[in-house]
Amino acid sequence: MVNSVRQKRTRYKLKKVTNRKRLTVFRSNNHIYAQIINDDKGITLASASSIEKIFRENKHSKKELAEKIGIEIAKRSINNGIKEVAFDKGKYKFHGLIKILAEAARGAGLNF
């Protein structure tokens, strides 16, 4: 996978400043994905995406899906005992679907 300059800069700064678990977001043309990653062990602790059955059953707009995925990733991470994360927006600017997902996760109890 080719990393963009913005993505490298974002990840470098996150890993340098904090040792929290990382909430990373990926957005394709059709779907949106979110994962909580432990960088020390290199494993995914929780994940949520728009391709899961609970999100595919009802027709939602992309904005509604982003909000629901933000709430779901917050629920799953809190159930695993993770309340503080570092938000990794990756190669995306912090607006649109990425911002909606982040604000929904904050509203559901994640701190970042």
Q: Which residues of 19-35 are buried (b: 16+ CB within 10 A; e: fewer)?
A: ebbbbbbebeeebbbbb
Q: Is residue 61 part of a domain?
A: yes
Q: Is residue 66 part of a domain?
A: yes
Q: Is residue 21 part of a domain?
A: yes
Listed residue (52, 54, 50) closest to 97, CA to CA: 50
pTM, rounded to two decimals: 0.91
CATH number at residue 9: 3.30.420.100
Q: Is residue 112 part of a domain?
A: no
Region 17-41: what's the mean pLDDT? 95
Domain count, the chain: 1
Tokens representing 34 are: 């979110």
Per-residue pLDDT of 59-111, as tens digits, reads 889 999 999 999 999 999 999 999 999 999 999 999 999 999 999 999 999 99
Does residue 58 register a pLDDT over 70? yes
